[in-house]
Amino acid sequence: MPVASKPAAQRLRITLRGAVQGVGFRPFVYRLATEMSLTGWVLNSSAGLVVEVEGAPDELRRFEQRLEAERPKASVVTVRESEWIPVQGSTTFEIHHSDTDSAKSVNVLPDLATCADCRAELFDPANRRFQYPFTNCTNCGPRYTIVVDIPYDRPNTTMREFELCPACCEEYENPANRRFHAQPNACPVCGPKLDGTIADTAAALRRGEIVALKGIGGFQLLVDARQAAAVARLRQRKHREEKPFALMMPSLETAREYCEIAPAEQELLESQAAPIVLLRPKSGSDIAWNVAHCSPYLGVMLPYSPLHHLLMRECSFPLIATSGNRSDEPIAIANDEAATRLKDIANHFLTHNRPIVRACDDSVVRLTRGRAGILRRSRGYAPLGIRVARNVPPVLAVGGHLKNTVAIGIGQDIFLSQHIGDLETVEARQAFERAIDDLCRLYSFKPEAVVCDLHPDYASTHWAEKSGLPIIRVQHHQAHVAACAAENNVEGPYLGVSWDGTGYGLDGTIWGGEFFTVENNQYERVAHLRPFGLPGGDAAVREGWRSAASVLFEVLGPDAVDSPVRPMLERKINVVRTTSVGRLFDAVASLTGLAQQNRFEGQAAMLLENEIGSLHTEEAYPLVSGDWAPLIAQVLRDKQEGLPIPRIASRFHNALVNWIVEVAVTSGVKQIVLSGGVFQNRYLTERAAALLESRGFVVHTHRQVPPNDGGLALGQVVMA
Ligand code: ZN
Ligand code: ZN
Ligand code: FE
């Protein structure tokens, strides 16, 4: 057709990278281009989403703007490139088939919670997907847990086993349909099926039975959260003493009956990631006491798959929803695997025939400093990339030993695996190896080197040593602050405060109360906690009274210590030196009589923080230059004089914050980075940030990765 009256057509090629597949991007581009009467095509390639559009230059510019402004909600665009190319005189706009040749640099999308449209259909008796537990669309549904390879297309997912029926096929091929190229598209005729019924499962739960449910990222163990005896049974069978369980609530309204929910928390609960959000429980609820024990928080999530929606509609009471495993083991994903591994735990199984490719636990998030902070990064977040300011070398980082995650660096993106867990069991170490293979294969990634912790005995270090790749060893606490600095794009010198339970120091002792000034990847350890001995080494991690005995020994002398570790301390046998703030928390918690043991990592510290409650005081113990001796002496005096524990706890926390401010002022550096497991302590983090900010410092804390060892791999990549 002649276009003489119009300005000469031009052709633009736009490439988008990031999380752009499986979110309805192609139909969106198709609709936009068609609506604007532009011609050309859109293509999903393994290098990203490529669009070529032809038309008047002004229109093309407007197209670019609208592409950005109106793109699908679930998409994340990290790179956008545009170039002018020769006009081809195309007359239509088409969606081309995926090409599989180009370099793989497309983010695999995380699993997305059921959208409002699908939810409405699920409960609409007139809809053909009424009560169908596997409904989804381009805006929602499983992604990462069903994708075998990229590009993200049905034959590359576990849905390849299900042939689309004519009705589903039509939706799948119609660009105007919400299910256009929804890879897991399914219906009761052609899709996955439940093995068992919702009604039987709900009945079992009401009877107090333990149910193993095949969810999105693996099996979950469910139990009525109101029945203490049932909860106790679950704890005993799962070998989980006191670590709090998370709850799934039937609805936001029910969640509100049990917990205080701020607007930002509601947003998190209802987000596409649908994580477990740590909320303040209301008093007087019927949640059994042994669900969260003494924890100040209840971990709460909302139903995030159609199966969960159907079950929660039937139950209408809070359920414990915890990962389907025995403590320290990875979550079960396959039906036969679950049948063996969970048979001694669950009374009732509800499974289905849609295979899960990789395990993904529920993520855990909490508001800190008024923003979301991820404490466990898994379903809904993994494997989204974290974009950093500079290109990173193509390395594989294998993380730490506890709360392990692994990561790879591609250009400016660091892809962190889902939470793998503590590498204590053979099963966990196998899961760790699978996660490495998996991540590398998905991104066709060949690491040039492997980065691991300095600790010689971590399972991840052992793996690195056997990998045959060049090894880069990175100090644990430096990696912590590097991770936090990287995710916040910190430029220029900063003071890194790295506090945690234990990590291997550069001098062979156990660190955990460190300050570094960092500039151009040079780390100078400018301050640290006064060291003390850990009698029995690793045993002290679980038994906080050992740290207490040690500080007593040093402050008051041998006669003050009436315990089996006294000979060790006297002869300095089997005593490792540490600067760990986490262990100092243990010592103080023990001396106040709050906790003698950690039944899960960080329990004593959590109890001590919890004591503060709503108490506001500026009182603080002395902790000048990190010398805890005067602090311990005063804790003992306060305890003797019967000072209430909340005040002791406050004085202790405030002392730690004052010390941070002291070091910050002396350092002469304006930017402060707080990292390490100790900063899961909300009181400590928020008070430190507030005090530092009031003195003109810029404070960076974690948001996208956990402050605990789950964020270590990110720091390792950056430091390589
Ligand atoms: Zn949907
Ligand atoms: Zn169908
Ligand atoms: Fe650590």
Give the Å distance between the CA of 162 and the centre of ligand 2: 9
Q: Name the amino acid, one letter, at 322.
A: T
Give the Å distance between the CA of 129 and the centre of ligand 2: 9
Q: Which residues surround ligand 2, an ion (CB under 5 A)?
A: 165, 168, 187, 189-190
Q: Which residues surround ligand 3, an ion (CB under 5 A)?
A: 500, 503, 709
Task: Say if residues 595 and 589 touch (Cβ distance below 8 Å).
Answer: yes
Task: Say if residues 551 and 632 touch (Cβ distance below 8 Å).
Answer: yes
Give the Å distance between the CA of 173 and the centre of ligand 2: 13
Task: Say if residues 364 and 418 touch (Cβ distance below 8 Å).
Answer: no
Walk along the chain (720 residues) in steps of 10 and give the mean pLDDT of each run.
Answer: 64 88 83 93 84 94 93 82 91 79 63 96 98 95 92 90 97 89 95 98 98 97 98 96 96 97 97 96 94 93 98 97 88 94 96 96 96 96 91 97 96 94 93 95 93 96 97 98 97 96 94 97 97 94 96 95 92 95 98 94 95 94 98 98 97 98 97 98 97 98 97 97
Report the distance separating Cα 715 and Cα 503, nearest Å: 14
Report the distance separating Cα 164 and Cα 187, nearest Å: 9
User: 526-700 domain in CATH 3.30.420.40?
Assistant: yes
Ligand closest to 170 (CA) is: 2
Q: Tell which residue, 313, 501, 492, has the closest CA to residue 402.
A: 501
H/E element, 568: helix 566-571
Decide: helix, strand or coil at residue 716: helix
Give the Å distance between the CA of 684 and the centre of ligand 2: 53
Measured CA distances, 32 to 243, 258, 613, 711 (Å): 50, 44, 53, 39
Write out the DSSP string of 66-90. Answer: HHHHT--TT-EEEEEEEEEE-----
- Which residues are within 8 A (CB) of 651 and not within 5 positions of it... i.e. 6 or more apart? 617, 619, 620, 621, 634, 638
Fold entry, domain 10-95: Alpha-Beta Plaits (3.30.70)
Residues facing 449 on adjacent strands? 395
Q: Is the sign of the CA dihedral 52, 32, 103, 409 positive or negative?
A: positive
Task: Say if residues 622 and 634 touch (Cβ distance below 8 Å).
Answer: yes
Which of the following CATH numbers is that of domain 194-359: 3.40.50.150, 3.30.70.600, 3.90.870.40, 3.40.50.1370? 3.90.870.40
Q: Which two tokens stand for residue 14?
A: 């736009």
Give the Å distance between the CA of 541 and the centre of ligand 3: 13
Ligand closest to 185 (CA) is: 2
φ/ψ (deg, to 5) at 221: -105, 125
- Greatest Cα pair distance, the chain, in angstroms, is 101
Give the Å distance between the CA of 585 and the centre of ligand 1: 46
- Which residues are within 8 A (CB) of 709 and not within 5 positions of it... i.e. 6 or more apart? 399, 400, 401, 402, 403, 404, 500, 677
Three state DSSP letters for 298-350: EEEECCCCHHHHHHHHHHCCCEEEEECCCCCCCCCCCHHHHHHHCCCCCCEEE
Q: Is the sign of the CA dihedral 701, 702, 706, 711 positive or negative?
A: negative
Give the Å distance between the CA of 449 and the centre of ligand 2: 46
- 3-state percent breakdown (helix, strand, coil) of the chain, nearest 5: 35, 25, 45
Q: Tell which residue, 206, 704, 327, 298, has the closest CA to residue 489.
A: 704
For residue 139, how many other CB atoms are within 10 A of its CB?
A: 22
Give the Å distance between the CA of 218 and the centre of ligand 1: 20
Give the Å distance between the CA of 366 and the centre of ligand 3: 19
Ligand closest to 306 (CA) is: 1
691: alpha, beta or left, given left = phi > 0 and alpha = psi -120 to 50?
alpha
Ligand closest to 505 (CA) is: 3
Give the Å distance between the CA of 165 and the centre of ligand 2: 4
Report the distance separating Cα 551 and Cα 33, nearest Å: 71
Q: Where are the domains of the chain?
A: 10-95, 194-359, 385-477+707-720, 526-700
Ligand closest to 399 (CA) is: 3
Ligand closest to 710 (CA) is: 3
What is the model's pLDDT at position 78? Answer: 78
Give the Å distance between the CA of 265 and the centre of ligand 1: 22
Residues facing 55 on adjacent strands? 10
Q: Which two tokens stand for residue 110?
A: 């995380």
Give the Å distance between the CA of 500 and the centre of ligand 3: 5
Give the Å distance between the CA of 181 and the centre of ligand 2: 13
Report the distance separating Cα 319 and Cα 325, nearest Å: 17
Give the Å distance between the CA of 338 and the centre of ligand 1: 28
- Which residues are within 8 A (CB) of 566 and not within 5 positions of it... i.e. 6 or more apart? 549, 553, 558
Q: Do 526-700 and 385-477+707-720 fall under one CATH topology?
A: yes
Task: Say if residues 390 and 697 touch (Cβ distance below 8 Å).
Answer: no
Give the Å distance between the CA of 463 and the centre of ligand 1: 41
Q: Which two tokens stand for residue 97?
A: 């088939």
Give the Å distance between the CA of 707 and the centre of ligand 3: 8
Give the Å distance between the CA of 618 and the centre of ligand 3: 29
What is the model's pLDDT at position 5? Answer: 56
Task: Say if residues 361 and 218 touch (Cβ distance below 8 Å).
Answer: yes
Task: Say if residues 150 and 163 touch (Cβ distance below 8 Å).
Answer: no
Decide: helix, strand or coil at residue 551: helix
Report the distance separating Cα 191 and Cα 380, nearest Å: 23
Which of the following CATH numbers is that of domain 385-477+707-720: 3.40.350.10, 3.40.50.300, 1.20.1050.10, 3.30.420.360? 3.30.420.360
Give the Å distance between the CA of 139 and the centre of ligand 2: 18
Ligand closest to 304 (CA) is: 1
